[in-house]
Chains A and B, each alone.
Chain A
Amino acid sequence: MAKNPFRSEADAYRFLLLTIGYFALIVAAATLNTWVGLVVFVALSAVVLWRWLGSRTVEAPLRTSVPRPHDEAERHILVIANETVGGEELLAMLRHRSDGVREQVLVVVPALNSVVRHWASDEDGARAAAQGRLEASLARLASAGVVADGKVGDGDPLQAMEDALRTFGADEIVISTHPEGRSNWLERNVVGAARERFDVPITHVVVDLESA
């Protein structure tokens, strides 16, 4: 998200100085010639817009170190999935990972919400729906013999992972998505962003529910 120029007094002060510079250049150019002033206005506005749009993507995420306060013989796996827990690919992978160790699986289902509802802090519906998906997922895991706990997480999957990591201490994160072309998370590069952000091995599992 773009930075709010009035987030603090220091930010507001910097914004004021930039505003003074912006208008000083435009007025100086307009004094020479109205059309020159217009060109400078357009050029400066384009630069401001470019910088503003750039600030939305350039901000590097923090690389979060994950505490792992558990026994060496245990393996903590954090599974993050919206509605794809229970696919055969994921179940097979979880069974394979738990060979020879005591595994603890935490399933986090993000409470996905619309932008408007998010800004209005209206997320009861989103969390209730996520709770429903979580319970269905846990039931499928249980029937497949996988012991798991579950949580409804933040609507932003990266934030949901970070929240869970702070209390769960995972050895591995498994991100389960739909196949390419049907996955909003893949389109947003959630897996790549998670690999940059978290100091934990991350496995991406594609679950194709339509072909199941």
Chain B
Amino acid sequence: MSAHADSHSGSHHGPPIAHKSSRVDASVLGMFLFIASEAMLFGAFFTAYFMVRVVNPEAPDWPLEPFHLPVFIAGVNTAVLVTSSFTMHWALQSIKRGNRTGLKAGLLLTFFMGLAFLITQMLEYARIGFNPADGVFGTIFYGLTGLHGAHVFVGLTLLGIATVRAFRGHYTPEHHHGVELPGIYWHFVDVMWIVVYATIYLI
């Protein structure tokens, strides 16, 4: 007639050790915190943008004179960025199937399309005809697109590292975390651009 708790023996002090499943996985928690912080960051800019737009009595003629947005060029740039997500996905699918050529080609294409997007955006800034000091619209436009551009830059850095590693022979069908994570980030950057482009340029 005995009874004992098996985690209450020996010299162990304090509460019993947690089972692994008791805890939120650190990578899951990290990703949730990252998404939450990014949502709040972009959300703050979008809130300011919509506030300016909604409270402005001349809102139907948006954007107000003398601002003019290069919708077509930005549309082409959007197509380039979206295509870069397709090539990113192709790169990852390739390494999962053991196709190293596809991995390298996919990463290289993704990198150069991302670079093309960033350069085009800088050229757009140079020719757009207003600057961040030209009223609240200019400030928010540069704030939102600049914030996104900063994310593209971070994404390009991650992609650059992944590309160099791919050409050095890293990654296998079983181990390709170094491609998977930049891929997730790159798709996130694309998602944010779709939101920015649709709300600022199109709607």
Note whether A and B form a binding pair.
yes
A contact residues vs B (CB 8 Å cutoff)? 4, 6-10, 12-13, 15-16, 19-20, 23, 26-27, 30, 37, 111, 118-119, 121, 123-125, 127-128, 131, 134-135, 138-139, 141-142, 145-155, 159, 163
Expressed in whole angstroms, the Cα–Cα distance for A159 and B21 within the complex equals 8
Please list the 6 inter-chain residue pairs (A to B) with the smallest Cβ-Cβ separation, ordered nearest first.
A9-B183, A12-B187, A142-B3, A128-B15, A138-B3, A150-B5
Chain B residues with CB under 8 A of A118: 24
Q: Is the CB of B202 within 8 A of A131?
A: no
* Contact between chains at A6 and B184 (CB < 8 Å): yes
Q: Which of B19, B32, B195 contacts A4 (CB 8 A)?
A: B32
- Given A124-B14, A152-B16, A154-B22, verify A12-B184 contact (CB < 8 Å): yes
CA of A124 to CA of B31, assembled, Å: 24
Which of the residues A12, A123, A151 comes within 8 Å of B6, measured between beta carbons?
A151
Interface size on B, residues (CB 8 A): 40
B21: which A residues are within 8 A, CB to CB?
154, 159, 163
- Asked, given contacts A16-B85, A124-B15, A141-B3, whether A9 binds B32 with beta carbons under 8 Å apart, the answer is no
Per a CB cutoff under 8 Å, which of B22, B88, B188 touches A6? B188
Least CB separation from B198: chain A residue: A23
Tell me whether B180 and A6 are in contact (CB under 8 A): no
**What's the Cα separation between A73 and B6 when bound, in Å?**
24
- Considering the chains assembled together, what is the distance between the CA atoms of A151 and B5 in angstroms? 6
- Asked if residues A123 and B18 are in contact (CB atoms below 8 Å), the reply is yes
Q: Which B residues between 17 and 43 are near A, CB-CB below 8 angstroms?
A: 18-19, 21-24, 28-29, 31-32, 35
